[in-house]
Structure 1
Amino acid sequence: MTVQIIRGLVDVRAEAGTSEVRALVDEVNKAFDTFKAEHTKQIDSLKKGHDDALQALKVDRINADIDRLQKEIEDAHVKIAASQNASVGGRKVRDAEYTDAFNAHFKKGEIQAALNKGASDEGGYLAPSEWDRTIADKLVLVSPMRQICFVQPTSKANFKKLFNLKGATSGWVGETAARPATSNPTFAELEYTTGEIYANPAATQQILDDAEIDIETWLAGEVQQEFAFQEGAAFVSGNGTNKPTGILTYVTGGTNAAKHPYGAIAAVNSGSATAITADGIIDLIYDLPSVYTGNARFTMNRKTQGFVRKLKDGQGNYLWQPSYVAGQPATLCNFPITEIPDMPDVAANALPIMFGDFNKGYMILDRIGVRVLRDPYTNKPYVSFYTTKRVGGGLLDPQPLRALKVAAGA
C-alpha cells in the first residue's frame, strides 16, 4: 500500500455533499426533459420512414449522460453516509478500549488481551466490535442487495428455517353432527450455509510506525470495497459453493428452482424475444400479488435502466422517471429502482430485471464477527491485514418476487 493511496482517503463533508446532490438532481431532470424531446423526434422520424442515425446518436448520448449523472448522485450519497460513519474528526468511538488496543496491535504487533473476544487458540486476533460495526456499516452503503434484502446475523455456521406447507382442513357441520378429525399442517426445512469472504490490504511497517492517519478508516475502506464487490456477484448469481446462493438461481428454469419448499420464483416474459417492452413491464408488475407491492421495487443494471428509459405507456408517457428529491431513487411505473451492477444485460432468454419485496424474498446470512490477522512475515516489508467474514445467502420466500425474462409471448 503506497503513501499516496493512504493519503487519498479523505473525508467528504456532509453539507457540501448535500448541495452537490441537489445540483445533480437538477441536472438529471433537465437532461431527462431534453431526452424526452429528442427521443420523440427520433420516434416521429421513424414513423415517417426515416432512420436518422445522427438523431439516434444524439439520443444515446443524452441517455448515457443521464446514466452518468445518476451514478454521480449515488456515489455522492455513499460518500455522505460514509463520512457520517467514519472515525475521523475526533469522533468518539463506541468501543474505545478495543479500538485503542487494536491500533497498538496494528502498529507493533503486540499481543493485547483486550483483543481476544473469542478463543485465542484459533491462530489470530479477533477484530474489536467497533471495527466489526464500521465494516458492516460501510458494506450496507455500497452493497445494493444489503440495502434491500433481509439480513440475518447468526453465531453458527449454518442457519435452518422451517416453512409452513399448510394442509390444515376444516368442514361445515350441524349442531349435533359428529366432528371427525381434520388434517394437520405440515412443515419443511431449508438450510442456509455460509462461505468465507476475505480481503488482504497491506502497508509497510514504516508507514504504520510514522503515519498520522486513521488506521480504522483505512482498513474499513479497503475491506468494504473488496467485500462489496465479491458479495454483490454472489447474491445475484452465486452457485452456493463456498459462497451465497444467488437469487437468480431460484427463478423458474434455474439450477435451484426446485430447492425451496414454496417453489421457484415465477418468470414473466418481456413480450419480445430480444428486448423489453412496456407491456412486459406492466405484466411483471401485475403478476405480483398486491399484498407484496407496498414495498416492491425493481432491480436491474445501469445498461438495462438506459433501455427501459425509452419505454412509454399507451398515452405516450415515459415509464421511467428521474428522482425529484435528493436521496430518492429513480422510478419505473412509480416503483423505485435499485441499480445492481451484477444483474444480466438485456439478451434473449436473460433475466435482466427483478421486481418485488426483496426484504421478504431474499435473506443474507452474516456469521457474526470480522476477524483480522496481522501478518508481518509473508510479504516483507509489507504488513498484511488478512480480514475475513463468513457470509451466506438464499431465497427466503419466492412469492414476493418476480423475474422478467426476455422472451416473446405472455
Structure 2
Amino acid sequence: MRNRYGLETKAADDNDDLDDALEQVAKSVEERTEKKVSKLIQTALAPFIDSVTNIEKKLNRPGAIFGASNDENAEVAAVESKAIHSFLKSGVRNFTPSQHLTVDEMKTMTVASDPDGGYTVFPVLATSINKKMHDQSPLRRLSDVQTITEGDAWEEPVDRDDLGATWVGETEGRPETSTPQVGMLRVPVHEIYAKPKVSQRMIDDSSWKIGNWLEDKIADKFGRTEGHAALLGDGIKKPRGLLTYPISLSSDAARPWKTIQYVASGNATVLTADSLKDAVWALRAPYRPGACWLMNSNTAGSIDKLKNGNGDYIWRDGLTAGSQPSLLGYPVEIDENMPNVGAGALPVAFGNFKKAYVIVDKAGYKLLQDPYTDKPFVLFYTYRRTGGDVRNFEAVKFIRVEA
C-alpha cells in the first residue's frame, strides 16, 4: 500500500519508518529552499557588496590621491611623471597644452600657476617629498602637523587657566568664581626655498630620472633646514625653535607660561641616571602616554653606558638591528640638531611632542626652472611656506647640564 507521499507501508506498526521518511523529505525541501533564497539574496546584494569593498580599498590604501582608485592613482602618477619630466627638461617656455603637454598633463600641475613661470608641484611628487621629510626630521614626525590652504598663519585658542569651582551648602550663597583666560596661539608660515642645480647635459640624457633626483634634493634640503629651525629657530622669518624659550626649575603650577621646565643633571660634565628619572617624573601623567626622548647620537652614546644601582644598563636596544631603542621604558628619537653634553647645555628633551609643538604647512610647493643664471647648469628653484612653534609648554622637559 502506498500513501499520499508515494511511500510504501507494510503494516500499521511501521509508523516509525514513515516518520523518518517524512522527516527526510521535509529536510530535503528545507535545504533546497534555503539554497534558493540564499542565492537570491546574494544576487540582490552583490552590487552593494562590491561597492562597499571598493570603498574600503580606497580608504585603506596608502598614498591615495583625493579618493581615486589604485588604477586611477597609477594613471595620475604616470601622467604626472611625464608632465614633470617635460617641464624639468624644457621649462615653462614649452609648457603649454598646444605644444609638448596634453591638457591632462597640464591639469596635474595647474593647481596654482605663477605669472613668472612657477607652477605648483604635482600632488604625487609633493606627497613623496613630504614623506621623505617626515622620515628625515624626527621633530616633524613627532609633532602635530597642520596644513592650511588660505591665509598666512594658523591660529588656535589656548586655555591655560582652570575654571573656578567650590563646595557650597544647600542654602548658601554662590559668589562668582574665577573665569579662565583664553589666549590665542598664532603660528605664521614663512618661505623656505631650495635651488638645486644640474648640468644641461645630464638633463638632455633622457634615461636620467630627473624627477627622482629633484625629489631627493628638495626633501633633503627642506628636511635639514626645517629640522634645525624647529629646535633652534629664532622665529624671525622662520619657525620658533623648542630650545629658544626661557627655562626654569619651577614646576608647571609655579612658573609662567612660555617657560619650559628643566631638571638639573647633577654633574657638570656628564648626565646621570637620576636626572633621567627626574625628567620622566617631572612630566605630568596626562602627557606621559606617547612621550619619548630626543637627543643626538653623541648624547645617546654616553647614556647607553649608564647603569642602575644593580649594575644593569638602563638603555634598552631594539630587538632587531636598526629598531628603536628605549630608555626607562620610553622610545628614543635621534635628532642631530640637539646639543652635545656640555656645561649649561640642554642635550636631552623628554616629552609628548605632538602636544608640545605644532608645525604648520601652507599647502603646495612652487617650482621654477632657470636655465639662464648659471650656464651650463640649470637651476630648479623650489619653495614652500611653513612655520612652527611651541603650543604647550608643560608637555616637554629638558635636562640641563650643570654649568
TM-score normalised by L of structure 2: 0.73
Matched, 1:351 2:349: no
Indicate if the aligned counterparts of 1:196 and 1:388 stay in contact, CA closer than 8 A: yes
Amino acid of the structure 1 residue aligned with 2:164 = T
Q: What secondary structure, in the 3-state scheme, does the structure 2 residue paired with 1:295 have?
A: coil
CA 1:354–1:104: 2 relative to 1, 3 Å = same
Which structure 2 residues correspond to residues 311-390 of structure 1 after superposition, within 5 A? Answer: 311-325=306-320, 328-390=323-385
- CA distance in structure 2 between the partners assigned to 1:93 and 1:346 by the alignment: 51
- Consecutive unaligned residues in structure 2, runs of 5 or more: 1-61, 64-72, 97-105, 250-254
Q: What secondary structure, in the 3-state scheme, does the structure 1 residue paired with 2:111 have?
A: coil
CA 1:172–1:332: 2 relative to 1, 3 Å = closer
Q: Which residue, out of 115, 120, 131, partners 2:114? A: 120
Residue 123 (structure 1) shift:
4.5
- CA distance in structure 2 between the partners assigned to 1:137 and 1:99 by the alignment: 17
Q: Which residue, out of 263, 280, 299, partners 1:304? A: 299
Q: Which residue of 1 aligns with 2:66?
A: none
CA 1:196–1:329: 2 relative to 1, 3 Å = same
- CA distance in structure 2 between the partners assigned to 1:358 and 1:325 by the alignment: 25
Q: What secondary structure, in the 3-state scheme, does the structure 1 residue paired with 2:139 have?
A: helix
- CA distance in structure 2 between the partners assigned to 1:171 and 1:272 by the alignment: 45
Which structure 2 residues correspond to residues 76-91 of structure 1 after superposition, within 5 A? Answer: none
Matched, 1:220 2:202: no
CA 1:93–1:358: 2 relative to 1, 3 Å = farther
Q: Which residue, out of 101, 106, 118, partners 2:88? A: 106
Q: Which residue, out of 172, 178, 182, partners 1:183? A: 178
Indicate if the aligned counterparts of 2:248 and 2:262 stay in contact, CA closer than 8 A: no
CA 1:267–1:251: 2 relative to 1, 3 Å = farther
Task: From the two aligned structures, give the one with the greater helix fraction.
Answer: 1
Q: Which residue, out of 140, 145, 148, partners 2:139? A: 145
Superimposed CA distance per residue, residues 177-219 of structure 1 (whole angstroms, 9 cap, x where no aligned partner): 4444433322112221222222112223333233213222111
Residue 171 (structure 1) shift:
3.0
Amino acid of the structure 1 residue aligned with 2:268 = A
Amino acid of the structure 1 residue aligned with 2:85 = N
Residue 149 (structure 1) shift:
1.2
Q: Which residue of 2 aligns with 1:129?
A: 123
- CA distance in structure 1 between the partners assigned to 2:284 and 2:163 by the alignment: 23
Query: What percent of counterpart residues are identical?
Result: 34
Q: Which residue, out of 278, 284, 294, partners 1:283? A: 278
Q: What secondary structure, in the 3-state scheme, does the structure 2 residue paired with 1:399 have?
A: coil
Q: What secondary structure, in the 3-state scheme, does the structure 1 residue paired with 2:189 have?
A: strand
CA 1:94–1:148: 2 relative to 1, 3 Å = farther
Decide which structure has the larger Cα Rg and report it: 2
Amino acid of the structure 2 residue aligned with 1:239 = D
- CA distance in structure 1 between the partners assigned to 2:270 and 2:331 by the alignment: 21
Q: Which residue, out of 396, 399, 402, partners 2:394? A: 399
TM-score normalised by L of structure 1: 0.71
Indicate if the aligned counterparts of 2:185 and 2:391 stay in contact, CA closer than 8 A: no
- CA distance in structure 2 between the partners assigned to 1:327 and 1:341 by the alignment: 17
Residue 96 (structure 1) shift:
4.0
Amino acid of the structure 2 residue aligned with 1:92 = A
- CA distance in structure 2 between the partners assigned to 1:93 and 1:321 by the alignment: 46
Residue 291 (structure 1) shift:
2.1
- CA distance in structure 1 between the partners assigned to 2:322 and 2:143 by the alignment: 19
Count of residues paired in the alignment: 315
Amino acid of the structure 1 residue aligned with 2:365 = V
- CA distance in structure 1 between the partners assigned to 2:215 and 2:113 by the alignment: 23
Q: Which residue of 2 aligns with 1:74?
A: none
Amino acid of the structure 1 residue aligned with 2:89 = K
Q: Which residue of 2 aligns with 1:59?
A: none
CA 1:98–1:306: 2 relative to 1, 3 Å = same
- CA distance in structure 2 between the partners assigned to 1:252 and 1:349 by the alignment: 12
Q: Which residue of 2 aligns with 1:168?
A: 163
Indicate if the aligned counterparts of 1:364 and 1:393 stay in contact, CA closer than 8 A: yes
Indicate if the aligned counterparts of 1:154 and 1:368 stay in contact, CA closer than 8 A: yes
Name whichever of 265-274 and 156-165 sits farther off: 156-165
Q: What secondary structure, in the 3-state scheme, does the structure 2 residue paired with 1:363 have?
A: strand
- CA distance in structure 1 between the partners assigned to 2:248 and 2:281 by the alignment: 21
Amino acid of the structure 1 residue aligned with 2:262 = A
Q: What secondary structure, in the 3-state scheme, does the structure 1 residue paired with 2:288 have?
A: helix
CA 1:187–1:309: 2 relative to 1, 3 Å = same
Q: What secondary structure, in the 3-state scheme, does the structure 2 residue paired with 1:121 have?
A: coil
CA 1:380–1:286: 2 relative to 1, 3 Å = same
